[in-house]
Structure 1
Amino acid sequence: MASALPLQNILSCPAHVLPDIVQTPIDVSQKPYKAPTRILIIGAGVFGLSTALSLSQRPEFAQTTITILDRSPETGVFPSRDASSIDSSRIIRPDYADPSYAKLASEAQARWRETEIGRDGRYTESGFILAADAGPLMREDGSPTGIAYAKKSWVNAMALAQAEGRPLSSVRLMAGAKRLARVTGVGEFADWGYLNDASGWADAEASMGWFYEQVIETGRVTFVNGTVESLETNEAERKVTGARLKDGSTISADLVITAAGAWTPTLIDLSSQAIATGQVLGYIDLTEEEQKKLEDIPVILNLTTGFFVIPPRNRVLKVARHAFGYLNPKTPSQAPLGIPGSEKSTVKPISQPFTHIDDPSLSIPEEGERSLREGLRRLIPWPELQERPFSRTRLCWYTDTATGDWIIDYHPYWQGLFVATGGSGHAFKFLPIIGDKVVDCIMGHCPIEFQQKWKWKAVDDIEKAIVTQDGSRGGEPGLILEDEFKRVSKDK
């Protein structure tokens, strides 16, 4: 793992003494690679769609047939409308406490800024305020807090500005709640933060639609609607040979790439590596006057609370909570694919997404709505907004890992099985480049700085609850979705 400076030095680092986060070791190894004849990608979200496009463009895979299988119930609609990537907006920023992700996000942002994907309103460089409440740098368990993450990110953001030839004034420190409120023109939403002029947001649904069209135009990729019941295996050869769908049909492949987002743990045993968590989103309709007042604000994120807002478009304001989220443990009809003979292969409850596709009348729990209201009061304390009903709410499902690192690696036991998941609520911004990184890893050329971060990890305590403790989450860990719904019913 690349490291900038010890925490105590980072927080007092002068602007002219910055960690070098742009010098990346180059993997010069030239391992021979033989492309499979047939590749099946399960999932048409960020990982799956971008991987398909990259595969179609690599000469090594010129003779490979590529199929994407997605659980979307609507024929010809990819990905499913309840995928986490199908939304009005997502934050695009290189503002990371981890220098490796900061550099990678800067690479992705250059694509958003300079290429076709970011045009026609799909990308807006509004500026971004990363902030936190005052408090200790570490939690009792030794994990960093939001203020620690924000201050590390500030140093890395300055280093990137310097490397990219931007003035350091493009990353402006804003200590104090009143100064933050004065600069943004909204509420006193945090105690410390900084503004990065070079960050912004993307229209997520429109960007996914554009990417889908790019994949279609290659003429190389076949799209199939269907839900996977299980992965097909040849146990004698310890090989995954394809997927069996719930309608009884099968799709065979020489390499299966599972990129099913929060549904991946129901297909492959990822015990204590990744878990599905439900995050709350709320949308409020604005007047034309309110739209004009807010459309030029920067994206605002308070890491201590997890609350964030993105500048409204088309008179709709989104307020959300980037938190530990809800768990939804349910026993699947059969165990996900594990290692034969391992206790991990037994059928046990797994947190599974529950969306408006499952129940069209679904709304977020009352706890979530109260929390969003609280966040709105701090972020935009206009009296006229406080009691205005949400025009709609949504549960967005992350695939969380304990460190926030993705899983991009071959399965350690089953041949012919590659895993690309664990987005942990921050993968979307990498849409323009993440497929290239996945294909690099498939070919045995994982970027050196991510070899340990993205590898399949053995975990000793399989009962450990997974929460992303990198300082980027707010709220309370361990909330159970069903309990929150029952609590509302009981209160009523």
Structure 2
Amino acid sequence: MSLTNDTEPNRSRRIIIVGAGVFGLSTALHLAQRGYSNVHIYDYQPYHENSYACSAGCDAASCDENKILRASYGDAKLYQDLAFKAMPEWRKWNEMLAQTSASELPPGLSPDVTLWNNCGFLRLSSDRLEESEEKTQQNFPDEMKHTQYRVPDESRRRDAEADGVPASKIDPFSRFGRGLRTDGVLDMTAGFVLASRACAFALHLVSKLGVHTYLGPEYGMKSLIRQENEVTGIVTNDGKEHPGDIVVVACGGWTPSLIPEIERLVETTAGSVLSFRLLDDRQDLWDNYSPEVFPVWSWNMNSYRPDHEDIAGLYGMPRTPEGVLKVAFRGAKWTNYSSHSHVTGRPLSYPKTDVDEIPEEAMRVIKTFCKENLPDLLDLELERGRLCWYSDSVDNSFLIDYPPDIKNLIVANGGSGHGFKFLPVLGEHVVDVLERKDTEYTRLFRWRDVPDRDPNGLREGPDGWRTLVKQRMVGREAWKAAKA
């Protein structure tokens, strides 16, 4: 049912949110902004101490140097619209952070750091435009189309120069100068956000708004408290019970192992990430990979096929303020069937975060691309390789709803590798779900059946080729051999 003007929600209900990543933080933020006064957020990671930093051992998908912020969504117009709605909110966060005294901020944050950098997003392919890009260009609002520069079009390259866009952003790999076949679009509405810092700032905001936070190993959720088909709270790792009128579970890749009802709708998968730190004595690299002259980029993002030794499914970022440069491979979504459902017994993919290596196939793709397009990186030491674990839904759309036939439980999941950009705005729609409002977004995110089409390969299970047990894992030594 949907709320009417006569049905005012009880904003004093005790609401428990499990998970302090993007979905949980945004939900807490919008609950507080909508007047809910009894909101409690739990997470096993001590984010108040480590500021969501990967280098401090944080392993949730929301913990990252940076994430792409873009509205390129093909024909998924509601996601496109939500991304455009998020962008001005990110600008407001930039302003809020700049106006906050350093003494008021938690560790890891300072007023001189820009969370959202509108440096542009160059989406390239080795041949013609990918189908998703063609749909994006068709569906972008007319008033935004001047920000889209088709890179092989000489007139549009001149337009970019006239608009003050550095030539290096439209051809950062010098492919035109080398006569290499390339197509794509430089999208100057897009860029990146400093992800871990953004989460730390959101945690700061919700705390100021009166949300109660419980962070650390003892506060991880051990189990739900269930009475038949009704959820009445959670049990944390320290064995304590915490009653709640509504429980929102937003645990990313860990959720399928906690909520059996979503096992068939969400699978935990990983992308492969390599991070390089620029040396202090290489000012040329600091300059060349600065977001002022170097864009976010992707390469053949939807074209990877493992049986063809493709160089595809890649993306990368400009350097961070600390000089960290990231290149990632998401063409193959790795799985790790190390857990089993405690209800059905079916094998479940579960995050494996205790490795500093990536599958050899991912390393092959990244190395081959860098040899042709980013040879500077071959001279750098690999600082870290890691797997970033996401929760992929069956159709890449978020799953935010009450599971059927269960009272007082909301699952907020299925980020599918594209949820971070919505941090300032997503919670509005989670609260609409909580209040049982019927909107175009609550319908988009609602519980659904498994579709006939299987874009994420969830039906493969442990027999699929993407499982980690079938991969040879490699790390720093493999990168050192990249020049060979």
TM normalised by structure 2 equals 0.78
Deviation of the 1:279 alpha carbon = 0.7
Aligned twin of 1:134: 127
Aligned to 2:422, what secondary structure does the other structure show? helix
Amino acid of the structure 1 residue aligned with 2:369: G
User: Would the aligned equivalents of 1:91 and 1:299 in 2 still touch at CA under 8 Å?
Assistant: yes
Alignment of 1:205-220 (within 5 A): 205-220=196-211
Tell me how far apart the structure 2 counterparts of residues 436 and 182 of structure 1 sit (CA, whole Å): 34
What's the offset of the Cα at 1:392? Answer: 0.8
Q: 2:33, 2:298 → 1: CA distance? A: 36
* Residue of structure 1 in register with 2:446 after alignment: 455
- Residue in structure 2 matched with residue 84 of structure 1 by the alignment: 61
CA distance in 2, matches of 1:211, 1:413: 33
Letter in 1 for 2:208: E
| Alignment of structure 1 residues 67-466 onto 2, 5 Å | 67-72=40-45, 76-77=49-50, 81-97=58-74, 98-115=76-93, 116=95, 120-134=113-127, 147-157=130-140, 159=141, 162=143, 168-175=145-152, 183-188=170-175, 191-225=182-216, 226-235=219-228, 238-269=229-260, 270-286=262-278, 287-295=282-290, 296-302=293-299, 303=301, 304=303, 305-313=312-320, 314-332=322-340, 335=342, 345-355=343-353, 359=354, 362-380=356-374, 382=375, 384-386=376-378, 388-448=380-440, 450-459=441-450
Summarize the Cα distance change of 1:221–1:428 in structure 2 as closer, same or farther, 3 Å threshold: same
Q: Does structure 1 residue 56 correspond to structure 2 residue 24?
A: no
Question: How many residues of Structure 1 are paired with residues of Structure 2 in the alignment?
Answer: 415
SS at match of 1:439: helix
Q: Does the CA-based 8 Å contact 1:187-1:378 persist in structure 2? A: no
DSSP-derived class of the 2:424 partner? helix
**CA separation in 2, counterparts of 1:487 and 1:202?**
29
Taking structure 1 as reference, are residues 58 and 486 closer, same or farther at Cα in structure 2, changes over 3 Å only? closer
How far apart are residue 465 of structure 1 and its match?
6.7
**CA shift in 2, pair 1:317/1:190, >3 Å:** farther
Aligned residues with identical type, % of pairs: 29
CA distance in structure 2 between the aligned counterparts of 1:113 and 1:190, rounded to whole angstroms: 36
1:311 Cα deviation from its structure 2 partner: 0.9
- Taking the aligned partners of 2:409 and 2:147, their CA distance within structure 1 comes to 44
Residues in 2 aligned to 1:156 and 1:190: alpha-carbon distance in whole angstroms: 26
Secondary structure at the aligned position of 1:91 is classed as: strand
1:362 deviation in Å?
3.1
- Given that 2:123 and 2:298 are in contact with CA atoms closer than 8 Å, whether structure 1 keeps it comes out as yes
* C-alpha separation in 2, matches of 1:258 and 1:374: 40
Corresponding residue to 2:456 among 467, 473, 479: 467
Tell me how far 1:107 sits from its aligned partner.
Answer: 0.3
d(CA) in 1 for partners of 2:3 and 2:205?
31
Residues of 1 paired with 2:370 and 2:82: CA distance?
31
Q: Which moved more, 1:224-233 or 1:289-298?
A: 224-233
For residue 41 of structure 1, give the secondary structure of its aligned residue in structure 2: strand
Structure 1 range deviating more: 49-58 or 422-431:
49-58
1:103/1:149 CA distance change after superposition, 3 Å: same
Contact 2:400 2:442 survives alignment (8 Å): no
CA offsets, 1:108-156, max 9 Å, x none? 0121124436753111111111233437xxxxxxxxxx81111111222
**TM-superposed deviation, 1:191:** 3.2
Q: Could you say which residue in structure 2 is the equivalent of 1:23?
A: none
**CA–CA separation in structure 2 for the residues paired with 1:263 and 1:190:** 42
Whether the 8 Å contact between 1:275 and 1:466 is mirrored in structure 2 is: no
Counterparts of 2:451 and 2:362 in 1: how far apart (Å)? 33
Unaligned segments of structure 1, at least 5 residues: 1-26, 136-145, 336-344, 470-476
SS at match of 2:151: strand
- How far apart are residue 330 of structure 1 and its match? 1.8
Deviations along 1:72-119, one digit per CA (max 9) or x if unpaired, are 167755767111111111111111111111111000012112443675
**Structure 1: which amino acid aligns with 2:44?**
R
**Distance change >3 Å, CA 460–CA 284, structure 1 → 2:** closer
Aligned residue type for 1:127: G
Q: Which amino acid aligns with 2:209?
A: T
SS at match of 1:52: helix
Aligned letter for 2:71? Answer: P
2:132 aligns to what SS in structure 1?
Answer: helix
Shift of 1:174: 2.1
Deviation at 1:218, TM superposition (A): 1.6
| 5+ residue gaps, structure 2 | 99-112, 158-166, 304-311, 459-463, 479-484
Given that residues 31 and 444 in structure 1 are in contact (C-alpha distance below 8 angstroms), is that contact kept between their aligned partners in structure 2?
no
Where does residue 42 of structure 1 map in the other structure? 18
Deviation at 1:246, TM superposition (A): 3.3
Q: Distance in 2 between matches of 1:387 and 1:76?
A: 34
Deviations 1:294-328 (A, max 9, x none): 21111111213221111112322110123341000
2:331 counterpart SS class: coil
Does the aligned pair in 2 maintain the 1:377–1:386 contact within 8 Å? yes
Q: CA deviation at 1:451?
A: 3.9
Residues 487 and 376 from structure 1, CA distance in 2 versus in 1: closer, same or farther, beyond 3 angstroms?
closer
Rounded to whole Å, the distance in 1 between the matches of 2:169 and 2:28 is 45
- Aligned-pair CA distance for 1:482: 2.1
The worse-fitting range, judged by mean Cα deviation, of 41-50 and 433-442 is 433-442
Residues 483, 175 of structure 1: alpha-carbon distance in 2 compared, 3 angstrom cutoff: same
Q: Compute the displacement of 1:368 (Å).
A: 2.3
> Counterpart of 1:4?
none
Code of the residue aligned with 2:185 in structure 1: it is Y
* Deviation of 1:28 (Å): 9.7
Q: Which residue pairs with 2:470 in the alignment?
A: 483
